[in-house]
C-alpha cells in the first residue's frame, strides 16, 4: 500500500468480505434507458427535473427485500447512489430541494435502506457523484453532460454567474451530512474525475478534493474511500470498471487493494430494454467473474438497478438467487480468500483461491477435465481433497502408477498432483470447487 498524506482507511474487513452490492437508483430509473440519459439525449436539467421529479413514486419500495436479496446472494457490503450525476438526492439534505423528501416518495429513501442492510449483516456504503449536471454552480464543460455539445460562446453564457467554488462547498456539506446523520458509513465511493491538460475537464482543483478528503478522514478516519478524487496516492481501493484485470491490480508497480465494479446487464440504472431483450449476464458468467476477482486478490461490487417503483426486477433477482445458491455451498472459497501462493501455478481450465489462515487451496474447475485433473506444483503437498459442495472425497492418483509411466511425455512432471475426478461435472453446481487441505 502506498502511504498518502491524508491517512488511509481500514481495509482489513474489505479484503476478507470480497463481495458487495452496488445499487444505482434515482430519477433515471423512470427514464429506464441508462443513468446517463440526461447527457446522452442532451436534455436540459430543468426539463429533466420537470419530467421525472414529480413522478418519482416508489410505492413498492421495501428495502428489507433488497437487503435480503443481497445477504442471500452472499454479499457482505453495499454501496448505493446517494446522489448520481443527475443531481437528485435519495437522502434528506438540508442543502438542496432536489431530494426524495420533495418527490412523491415524500420520505428519505436512503436511511431505511442503510438500516435494512445493516440489520441483515451487510455493511453500508454511499456512492456520491462529483459530477452534478443540475447544480446551478456546476461549471458547464465541453466534455461531459447535457450541454457538452454547445459552442464555447453558448457555454460561456450558461456559465455566467456559476461558481465552482460554491459547488465544491455544497459537496462538502452533503458529504458531511452523509457521514454524520446516517450511522456508520463504511465506504465512500466518489465518482469521478476527468482532468484535461488544458484545464477544460474536472479534477482535484474543481472538486477541491484535498479539502474533501481531509474532512472525510476527520469525520471517519477508518472509512474506505475510492481512487477517483484525482489526488495521486489517495484511494484505499482501486476500482477497475467494466473490465477484468489480467492480474492482481497494481498501482505504481505495487499490488493494491482493488474492487471491480460490474453490471448485470448493459447499464447501471434500471434499463427496461436490457430486461426485455434479456441482455442480462448469465449466473454462470457472474459467478466466474466473482471467482476471477478473488483469484487475483480483489473484490467484486456487482450492480443492480431497481425500478422506479422500487423493485429489483425478476431477472436480477434470479441471478442473485443463483449466486446465493452457489455461495451458500462455496462461500468458503471466496470469503477470507485471496490469490494462491506464487509457487502454485494455475492449472489448465481452473482458477485458484487460497485461504492463508486455514491453509486451504480452492480449485475452481471452470472446464471439466477428462478423468484426471492435473495440478502442477502440488505433488506431495496435499493431505486431503474433496469437492466442496457435498464434501465428497476426491482421490489422489498414486505417484507410482501414474507419473512413473506417463510423466514427461505428457507434460506431467514429478511436481504434478493428479486427482481422480468424477466422470461428469456435477449437474447442479454452476462452478464446482475442489477444496485441498495443504500440509503444514
Binding site for ligand GLC (CB under 6 A): 24, 35-36, 191-192, 241, 261, 268
Q: How far is the CB of 145 from ligand GLC (least distance, A)?
A: 11
Question: Phi, psi at residue 118, to the nearest 5°?
Answer: -60, -40
CB proximity list for 38: less than 8 A, separation 6 or greater: 28, 45, 48, 85, 86, 133, 145, 146
Strand partners, 224: 187
Distance (Å, rounded) from C-alpha 255 to C-alpha 437? Answer: 27
Return the number of the residue (194 or 368) whose C-beta is nearest ligand GLC: 194
Distance (Å, rounded) from C-alpha 140 to C-alpha 39? Answer: 12
Return the number of the residue (167 or 192) whose C-beta is nearest ligand GLC: 192
Q: How far is the CB of 238 from ligand GLC (least distance, A)?
A: 12
Q: How far is the CB of 49 from ligand GLC (least distance, A)?
A: 18
Give the residue among 269, 437, 249, 231 at the shortest CA–CA distance from 339.
249
Q: How far is the CB of 192 from ligand GLC (least distance, A)?
A: 5
Return the number of the residue (242 or 282) whose C-beta is nearest ligand GLC: 242
Return the number of the residue (138 or 362) whose C-beta is nearest ligand GLC: 138
Q: How far is the CB of 426 from ligand GLC (least distance, A)?
A: 35
Distance (Å, rounded) from C-alpha 311 to C-alpha 322? Answer: 18
Return the number of the residue (18 or 228) whose C-beta is nearest ligand GLC: 228
206 contacts 164 by C-beta, under 8 angstroms:
yes
Q: How many helices (H) and strands (E) does the chain have?
A: 14, 17
Distance (Å, rounded) from C-alpha 239 to C-alpha 257? Answer: 9
C-alpha torsion angle, residues 271, 275, 276, 281 (rounded to 10): 130
Return the number of the residue (194 or 248) whose C-beta is nearest ligand GLC: 194
* Signed CA dihedral, 431, 263, 119, 129: sign only: positive
> Rg for the chain (alpha carbons), in Å?
24
Return the number of the residue (130 or 275) whose C-beta is nearest ligand GLC: 130
Place of cell 425500478: 307
Q: Which cell numbers hold the place of 198?
A: 488544458
Q: Which cell numbers hold the place of 261?
A: 465494479
Return the number of the residue (36 or 117) whose C-beta is nearest ligand GLC: 36
Give the residue among 69, 64, 55, 56 at the shortest CA–CA distance from 26.
56
Q: How far is the CB of 36 from ligand GLC (least distance, A)?
A: 6
Return the number of the residue (36 or 402) whose C-beta is nearest ligand GLC: 36
Return the number of the residue (36 or 326) whose C-beta is nearest ligand GLC: 36
* CA 88 from centre of chain: 22
Q: How far is the CB of 221 from ligand GLC (least distance, A)?
A: 25
Q: How far is the CB of 32 from ligand GLC (least distance, A)?
A: 15
Strands 224-225, 187-191: pairing kind: parallel
Strand partners, 147: none
Q: How far is the CB of 187 from ligand GLC (least distance, A)?
A: 13
Q: How far is the CB of 191 from ligand GLC (least distance, A)?
A: 5
Count of beta carbons in the 10 Å neighbourhood of residue 376: 16
CB proximity list for 118: less than 8 A, separation 6 or greater: 124, 183, 184
Of the chain, the end-to-end C-alpha distance in Å amounts to 29
Amino acid at each position: 500500500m502506498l502511504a498518502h498524506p491524508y491517512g488511509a482507511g481500514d481495509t482489513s474487513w474489505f479484503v476478507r468480505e470480497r463481495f458487495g452490492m452496488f445499487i444505482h437508483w434515482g430519477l433515471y430509473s423512470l427514464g429506464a434507458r441508462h443513468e446517463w440519459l440526461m447527457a446522452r439525449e442532451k436534455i436540459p436539467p430543468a426539463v429533466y427535473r420537470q419530467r421525472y421529479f414529480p413522478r418519482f413514486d416508489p410505492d413498492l419500495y421495501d428495502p428489507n427485500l433488497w437487503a435480503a436479496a443481497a445477504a442471500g446472494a452472499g454479499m457482505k457490503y453495499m454501496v448505493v447512489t446517494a446522489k448520481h450525476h443527475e443531481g437528485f438526492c435519495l437522502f434528506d439534505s438540508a442543502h438542496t430541494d432536489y431530494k426524495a423528501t420533495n418527490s412523491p416518495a415524500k420520505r428519505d429513501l436512503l436511511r431505511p435502506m442503510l438500516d435494512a442492510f445493516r440489520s441483515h449483516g451487510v455493511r453500508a456504503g454511499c456512492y456520491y457523484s462529483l459530477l452534478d449536471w443540475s447544480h446551478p454552480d456546476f461549471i458547464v464543460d465541453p466534455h461531459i453532460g447535457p450541454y457538452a455539445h454547445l459552442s464555447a460562446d453558448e457555454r460561456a453564457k450558461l456559465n455566467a454567474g456559476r461558481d465552482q467554488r460554491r459547488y465544491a462547498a455544497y459537496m462538502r456539506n452533503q458529504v458531511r451530512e452523509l457521514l454524520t446523520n446516517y450511522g456508520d458509513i463504511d465506504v465512500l465511493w466518489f465518482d469521478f474525475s476527468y482532468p484535461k491538460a488544458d484545464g477544460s475537464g474536472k479534477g482535484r482543483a474543481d472538486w477541491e478534493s484535498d479539502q474533501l478528503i481531509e474532512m472525510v478522514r476527520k469525520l471517519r478516519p477508518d472509512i474506505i474511500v475510492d481512487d477517483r478524487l484525482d489526488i495521486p496516492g489517495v484511494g484505499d481501493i482501486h476500482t477497475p470498471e467494466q473490465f477484468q484485470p489480467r492480474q492482481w491490480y497494481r498501482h505504481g508497480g505495487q499490488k493494491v487493494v482493488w474492487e471491480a465494479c460490474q453490471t448485470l446487464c448493459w447499464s447501471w440504472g434500471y434499463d427496461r430494454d436490457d430486461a426485455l431483450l434479456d441482455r442480462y449476464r448469465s449466473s454462470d458468467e457472474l459467478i466466474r467473474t466473482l471467482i476471477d476477482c478473488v483469484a487475483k486478490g480483489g473484490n467484486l461490487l456487482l450492480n443492480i438497478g431497481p425500478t422506479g417503483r422500487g423493485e429489483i426486477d425478476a431477472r436480477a433477482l434470479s441471478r442473485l438467487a443463483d449466486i446465493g445458491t452457489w455461495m451458500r455451498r462455496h462461500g468458503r472459497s471466496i470469503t477470507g480468500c485471496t490469490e494462491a501462493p506464487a509457487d502454485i501455478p494455475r492449472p489448465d481450465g481452473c482458477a485458484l483461491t487460497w485461504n492463508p489462515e486455514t491453509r486451504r487451496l480452492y480449485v475452481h474447475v471452470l472446464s471439466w477435465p477428462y478423468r484426471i485433473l492435473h495440478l502442477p506444483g502440488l505433488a506431495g503437498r496435499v493431505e486431503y481433497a474433496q469437492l466442496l459442495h457435498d464434501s465428497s472425497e476426491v482421490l489422489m492418483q498414486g505417484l507410482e502408477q501414474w507419473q512413473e509411466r506417463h510423466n514427461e511425455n505428457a507434460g506431467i512432471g514429478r511436481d504434478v498432483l493428479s486427482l481422480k475426478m468424477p466422470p461428469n461435472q456435477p449437474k447442479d453446481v454452476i462452478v464446482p470447487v475442489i477444496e485441498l487441505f495443504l500440509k503444514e
